[in-house]
Structure 1
């Protein structure tokens, strides 16, 4: 990759980490389309590793506001979902995985725009956890299902609970990807180079939280994700046209 491409990815990860540290999700939705556009082979392990770092930081910061019972039920569904997600990574081509990323992001945006808000009861938490596991392991985007279930929580409780769930879930996803042979040295190297962007985004979230309310943050995440998806669709169509 060129220096400009590294800078583009770092910028997306910085903004995504800031959003995730402020709302409980956002890193995958914002950064995955950008990475898929530049080099889809780096997904999903690179972003899952970086998400693990930001979730550890946020969980530690919001540890007094965790919903441990809800997290536990969501993790019941996360484990089988992660197995299925790892299978998809091994099955799909780079282009196929990129299209999955687009589909996942756009589906999440559609549901959020329609205002669907399932209650955080046991069955919904298990189903959302399974869906998040599939999406997270296959595409590095696992936020939309959990955000829909937990969107009624206040800011600190939502951030802390989602971060605790993703912290454990990201560890499971990385283990599944490692077993499936879907983790490369290039992915690990990029994740290491992007650690400062994650830490910077987390630090910036403290200031963002004072300036923006949750509704504005959510709108920003949705808008940025939509833009990233549009850019990725354009890139994929251009590649298909060139190949044809």
Structure 2
């Protein structure tokens, strides 16, 4: 990779880590379209591994707001979803994966824009967990399903419980990717090199939250994600 590509990935991961630490999701929605444009071979492993680091830090920071019972139901659904996502990643060609990734981002944007908020009941949590596992393992974008069921909760509750879910879920996904041979040495090297950017994004989230409230940050993330997904689709169609 040249210097420009590296710089683009570093900035994308930094901003995505900041958003993940601020609103409880967003690593994949913001960074995945960008990384897919410049270094698609690093997906989805790079962003799943990076999300593991930032979610661990958020869980520690927001541990007082954890609700392990609700997270447990979501994780129960995550298991079969993770297996399905790993198999889908093996079967899909690179072009198909890029288009699926873009479609997932645009779908998440559309749902977020409608304001639909399902109640965080056991059935909904398990269903969202399964969808998140499938999408997160295959494309690194597992946030939208879980964000829907937690969208009406307080900020700290959302961040802590979604981060706990994604911490365990990301470890599941990394294990599934390793078993299917989708976690290469290049991905691991890139992840290690990007850990400082992830940590800086986490630190920056503390300061950004003082000036940019959750709703505004969410609106920015939706716009940026939509633009990234649209650019990715354009690349696959015209180039």
Please report the TM-score for the alignment, with normalisation by the length of structure 2.
0.98
SS in 2 for 1:59: helix
Q: Which residue of 2 aligns with 1:157?
A: 157
Q: Which residue of 2 aligns with 1:131?
A: 131
Q: Which residue of 2 aligns with 1:220?
A: 220
SS in 2 for 1:118: coil
Unaligned runs of 5+ in 1: 240-244
Distance in 1, matches of 2:178 and 2:143, equals 21
TM-aligned CA deviation for residue 81 of structure 1: 0.2
TM-aligned CA deviation for residue 96 of structure 1: 1.0
1:36-75 CA-to-partner distances (Å, cap 9, x unmatched) read 1112111111110000000000000000011211100000
SS in 2 for 1:171: helix
Q: Which residue of 2 aligns with 1:232?
A: 232
Distance in 1, matches of 2:191 and 2:95, equals 21
The answer on whether the counterparts of 1:18 and 1:201 sit within 8 Å (CA) in structure 2 is yes
> Quick check: 213-222 or 157-166, which moved more?
213-222
Q: Which residue of 2 aligns with 1:242?
A: none
Q: How many residues align?
A: 239
Instruction: Answer yes or no: is 1:26 the counterpart of 2:26.
Output: yes
SS in 1 for 2:116: coil
1:99-129 CA-to-partner distances (Å, cap 9, x unmatched) read 1100100010011111111000000000000
Distance in 1, matches of 2:212 and 2:72, equals 30
Q: Which residue of 2 aligns with 1:178?
A: 178
Q: Which residue of 2 aligns with 1:5?
A: 5
> Quick check: 230-239 or 215-224, which moved more?
230-239
Please report the TM-score for the alignment, with normalisation by the length of structure 1.
0.96
SS in 2 for 1:194: helix
Moved over 6 A (4+): none
Q: Which residue of 2 aligns with 1:47?
A: 47
1:72-91 CA-to-partner distances (Å, cap 9, x unmatched) read 00001000000000001110
Distance in 1, matches of 2:52 and 2:80, equals 19
